[in-house]
Structure 1
Amino acid sequence: MAFILINNRNWLRLLPLLLLFLVQIAGKAQSVPTANLQFQKEKIALANTRSYYVLDVIDKRKLKPNELGEINLLGKPNNLVIQPTLARALYDFWSGSTRVRNELSVPLEIILEDVSVSEKRIAPNKIAGELKVRVSFQWTRSMEPLHLTTYQSASTYTRPEGSYDHEVVFRRMLTGAIKHFDSWIGQNDGKNPLLARGVKLVFDEVDYAEKGDTVFYKPSRKLTWEDFQGSYNRPGSKYSAAVFSSLSYEGGSRMRNNLLEIRISLKVFMVKSMSWGRPEARNTYTLSHEQLHFDITRIVAERFKEKLKKMDLTIENYDSQIQYEFLETFRELNTEQEAYDGQTSHGLNSTQQAEWHRKIKAEIARIYQGT
């Protein structure tokens, strides 16, 4: 900062010099001149545009929304700018070739991470420059952005001072970006879970063969006392018999027709070595009581299956949703078994035992109706 000391006699004489000084300072504070760029629209040859469309272009660069960097024109630095903004210009540029869509088309979001140019004068009449492009592709599913792929390219050059067609090089690189994504989605659509449009739940009815210590539930395969192989010497136990029955499931997933197909098979089983019966209690009535415990396990497993069919499973969270419901089913199973034993007094109340027998057999018949 410069200061000029003047007195009252001389200030009029020095006023022109002061004004000239202020004009010179203002001239030095002027911004760098700008050069405008426009993207020439063209129809880009893309093979997979029915699988996606450009929903939005989001500018996350460090530059201002309409700036591309600094270039050198006639030996002077110039800001290269585009109107109204780069994001708007590239949305128009890309979306013109991706307008075909259907209900399964991915709404693509393109993130501009770096689209820039920089130049410097390295010798008289010689300019060195570099153009950079880095864009990432994502889509938002169930309110969660999913990164799909990234395209990156750079171009270095030297040129004489004077005009230079930056638009042609930028357009070639940005055309390469959308072609990169078009190729990526052509290779991944229908295969990559990131592109799944929804969930389809499929239950596999597997006829598990009896194996060693385990008896898998079948309506035609009734329990016999030979299945109760555990020790019946239970000090303090007042019960005549007990069957250890439980349930589990196996699951897997695969992409099929743009949906994530979840396949589940249920297992309802009893374990021989953990099931027991006292010799004096091994009669038809007691065995029938234990068979109903096994039947109840099968009924609760079916309820688990029906609940899953009604659930709105999400691609991001289906596994935890299923596991939570499975834990709830186990609680329901314990509650149901306790209610059965409580109301029948562990089979001693023959009236209640007959009522439970009627109710459970009707439910089992409904499950296997038509099979």
Structure 2
Amino acid sequence: MKNRPEFSVILLLVSILFTSSTVFAQPEPIRLKTEKVLTGNWDYYIERVIDARPPGQVYANLWYKDVSGKMKSYPSDLSGGSKIALSNFMINGLPRNTEGRPLNIRILECIIRESNESTHVSGQLTLKVQFEFEKDWGTQPLTTYSMNLKYTRSINNLEYIEPALRKVLGNSLKYIHNWMKKEATTNILLAKGLKLSFRNYQEQDPDTVYYQKGRSLSFNDFQAKPPQNTRFQAAIFPSFGYDMQREFKGGLIQVQIVLKVYMIRSASWAFPMIKSTYSLNHEQRHFDLVKLISERFKLKLLSEKLNPDNYEGIINFEYLEFYREMNRLQQRYDQETNHGINKAKQDDWNRWIDSQLNARLIAGKD
């Protein structure tokens, strides 16, 4: 995920200083009103609010003048508790389309601190929240928002605090709405799904033969010098791999797997005296078996329920599984045909490989 700078707003609001000398007992907790900050029909909603503030932190320290005229500071909370009040406001502040994607809001800081300035009170309301998706594997942070709102008030005018708090909370909801609109088509974290496609790599280079339908091997592709003291008459070194190309388009992660089925010329060899059509066919079938495994790998991935959160791990896991299967199948092929010496078994394998490849290529539309 890209590191995005924290969005900060600093506002300075100066209220009218009341000179009233009214005195009263310690005020009641602030009653936070709920309101619909924005209306509309979007593909996301606020599912839950997580209170991640430090345990035991006092929500507000407010000043007032008691019945004797003495200035006092007292700890205050929202009516019903700030955790519940903040959650109710955030969840109900935006349209609740539960068919859309659920967003969480993690409250990192929400606090009011005041100081007595003799004739008036100076205060600061601080909010910091993180917006995130909750995934099967854990939490995916999206962006953070913070705002500091400074104010002044007369000593016994507490009516300004609740509207100021609603303003700060409402601005955070407006921020995530605008962020979602802006990032929807460009931020891969907001992908709604995944589209998988495949392509066979067929470009050739001097030392590598990539598998091509209709392009059979020739002994010119066996360019290594035969080793001394070997009991084999020929050897081919085929394998397969893949490249993964990704693009975020139309709200989907477009993933293309480029399959590479190949043999290495400089690692493959054959003695001149065994260069016959029959012996070449045995080596060709080694190459065909790798192609068959790559098609099985392809069809396995198409059957998986891949999503933006799990596709990389699943693709890599399945590749390793089919790579091991390729080695097992190659070993079994050589054992049963005795490296091509058993002609009856070779014929059986020829027919089986052809039938399997034809079925796979038709299913895979190669």
Tell me the TM-score normalised to structure 1 length: 0.83
Report the Cα distance in structure 2 between the residues aligned to 1:207 and 1:249, rounded to whole angstroms.
Answer: 9
Q: Which of 67, 72, 76 pairs up with 2:72?
A: 76
* Cα 1:226–1:270 shift into 2, 3 Å: same
The offset of 1:63, in angstroms, is: 6.6
Q: Within 2, Cα distance between the matches of 1:77 and 1:97?
A: 31
Query: 1:252 — aligned with what?
Result: 245
Which of residues 137, 152, 156 in structure 2 aligns to 1:162? 156
Cα–Cα, structure 1 residues 368 and 322, in superposed 2: closer, same or farther, change >3 Å?
closer
The whole-number CA distance in structure 1 between the counterparts of 2:263 and 2:339 is 19
Which residues of 2 match residues 93-242 of structure 1 at below 5 A?
Answer: 93-101=89-97, 103=99, 105-123=100-118, 125-164=119-158, 165-200=160-195, 202-206=196-200, 208-232=202-226, 234-242=227-235
Structure 2 counterpart of 1:196, which letter? Answer: A
Query: What is the distance in 1 between the residues matched to 2:124 and 2:171?
Result: 17
Gaps of 5+ in 1: 1-31
Report if aligned partners of 2:38, 2:94 keep a CA contact under 8 Å in 1.
no
Task: Give the counterpart of 2:337 among 344, 364, 368.
Answer: 344
Cα shift at 1:282: 0.7
Which of the residues 46, 52, 62 maps onto 1:60?
Answer: 52
- 2: CA distance, partners of 1:64 / 1:274: 69
Higher relative contact order, chain-length normalized (CA < 8 Å, sep 6+): 2
In structure 1, the partner of 2:3 is: none
Aligned residue pair count: 334
Compared CA separation, residues 143 and 284, structure 1 to 2 (3 A): closer
Deviation at 1:207, TM superposition (A): 5.0
Query: Over residues 264-294 of structure 1, what are the superposed CA-to-partner deviations in whole Å (9 max), with x where a residue is unaligned?
Result: 1111011112111111111111011111111
Cα offset for 1:185?
Answer: 1.2
Quick one: which amino acid aligns to residue 60 of structure 2?
G
Partner of 1:283: 276
Instruction: State the partner residue of 2:14.
Output: none
Equivalent of residue 304 in structure 1, options 274, 297, 321: 297
| Cα contact 1:308–1:322 (8 A) shared by 2 | yes
Deviation at 1:172, TM superposition (A): 1.0
Q: Deviation per CA, 1:181-222: give whole Å up to 9, x if none.
A: 11111122243232234444x232235222211111112001
Structure 1 position 256, deviation (Å)? 3.6
Alignment correspondent of 2:85: 89
Q: Structure 2: which 5+ residue stretches go unaligned?
A: 1-24, 66-70
Percent identity over the alignment is: 30
Q: CA deviation at 1:358?
A: 0.7
Q: Say whether the 8 Å CA contact 1:56–1:108 is kept in structure 2.
A: yes
Pairwise CA distance, 1:129: 1.6
Q: Tell me the equivalent position of 1:7.
A: none
Structure 2 length-normalised TM: 0.84
CA contact (8 A) 2:209 2:262 kept: yes
Over the aligned positions, Cα root-mean-square deviation in angstroms equals 2.3
